[in-house]
Structure 1
């Protein structure tokens, strides 16, 4: 702000005028830079509090309930993925390449309006709704899975049966148990037949419950858990034996 110079008549008036000018300059200047670290520290404290609240949201009761619900699926998926990596690495590599290719194609289609129009035209000519494409991909992946499997993988507990046969292989040498080699395949074959019959009966019950407008989800819960346990047990036995 502009200052006016006045001619002082005495030394006391000169000192008073200089003091008044210094006071005006001190009031007109902005705040010192020493107070800025306080603002930075406050922002850091806010960031820390935000991170704490973010991590606290992951350990709420609702998150724990959801984690308990999806924990069996995560465990079974991890075991199945480990089994595929160990016994079918070519299939896993092909699935990864196919997924990466699909993501690249989707990014190209979404980034270009011309590609979007061409894609919609192809879907309309083929008569395929866009929301059904993921289900078709899942069905195709299931069929590709069967192409990567060997005939022995079609039987449950095949590795366990071979392991039991190797254990009792020396039983025939003593002459005391001549029918052990024929009893073990019969035992495992009976277990497989019982399992297939159980799946068929459970499937018929679920279909009938759905047709009669009954609670078919409750009817399908126990068979689904049973099948999941059998599959996980087969994968674990294969990993342990091999």
Structure 2
């Protein structure tokens, strides 16, 4: 069996894993490098995790790539991140499509540059038929904003008489979120040892398991991913129930 392969029995592998990719800046600082060097190295870690998912049985991978709060970072870092994002989309689209990876984006695209929005749309179209893995990239995404937008949309429907507010249930609300149609979120991994959710998938993570990995994101490799999946597989998920 290759290193890191099949860390848990198939039935215990999470269908949908989300990752808060934290620690790029600290990785660079430890080496006396600029923060963008850490972000560039983080792209390599991202590639490795995407490649590992089908081998491990993960069907959907959601990545917190850029939050609504990340605009507060220094302008040169934000500019560098956007350039890195452009480069990733241009270079990886063909390979992702060839490997059967479907790419989907969530987040508010309005604040992004027009060429980035065009690249995102092109990648989504080019990879639309992928069935081996779905990769969801959260760009300019915030969990509170996602919930607020869904509430506003449902309220607008009710105001014009298109929806009875009394009939809005959890399924209706979930369908109004940007993650509509994705499998239920099973596992959230945050790297770098930090233990907070940082406004990521707040509704969706209600019953997800959490693994706080000590590795900084650029050091998060296939073996670290396997350990996180194994930790998930060792847990008993009761969803509020009591088991004898």
Higher strand share: 2
Q: Same fold by TM (over 0.5)?
A: no
TM-score (norm 1): 0.22
TM-score (norm 2): 0.22
**Which structure is larger by alpha-carbon Rg, 1 or 2?**
1
